[in-house]
Amino acid sequence: MNVGDAAHRSGLPAKTIRYYEEIGLIAPARAANGYRDYSSDDIHRLTFLRRARNLGFSIDDCRQLMALYQDRGRASADVREIAAAHVTAIEEKVRELQSMRATLQKLIHACHGDERPDCPILDDMAGAAAPGDRTVSARP
């Protein structure tokens, strides 16, 4: 099947499929006319990649996961290690996002939101605090 059909069946944009080929994640056969010829196995791999990317795995992680998926002699511990490292990274990102949210909530609360030009939100972003004021910051 052609890239359009592969895109429809895998749920990925054709541009993404071409990118995955360019970086070596997939390697569809070529028809006699030189066009890509995607097999059902290619669609399965593309669907696998779509799901992995939707779970937030990096391209490098996807490359490792794909290799492990295709290796019937793999140790599930190797897959688990990649997934656990990804969860750790997600948890760190969640902490960062919660800190940003808390900082922004404090800044929004401190902002009068009226016609005056004073804006603690912009002051904090600029790192400028009025003398004696303590800025609220997400970073120590």
User: pLDDT of 59-115, one tens digit each?
Assistant: 999 999 999 999 999 999 999 999 999 999 999 999 999 999 999 999 999 998 888
Token pair listed for 125: 């972003």
Token pair listed for 35: 């066009």
Higher pLDDT pick, 134 / 88:
88
pLDDT value, residue 136: 52
pLDDT value, residue 140: 46
Task: Measure CA of the first residue to CA of the last residue in the chain; give whole Å.
Answer: 54
Domain boundaries, the chain: 1-56
CA distance 59 to 35: 25
pLDDT value, residue 129: 56
pLDDT value, residue 118: 87
* Alpha helices (H) along the chain: 3-10, 14-22, 40-54, 59-70, 76-110, 120-126
Q: What is the largest CA-CA distance in the chain?
A: 75
The correct answer on CATH 1.10.1660.10 for the domain covering 1-56 is: yes
pTM: 0.76
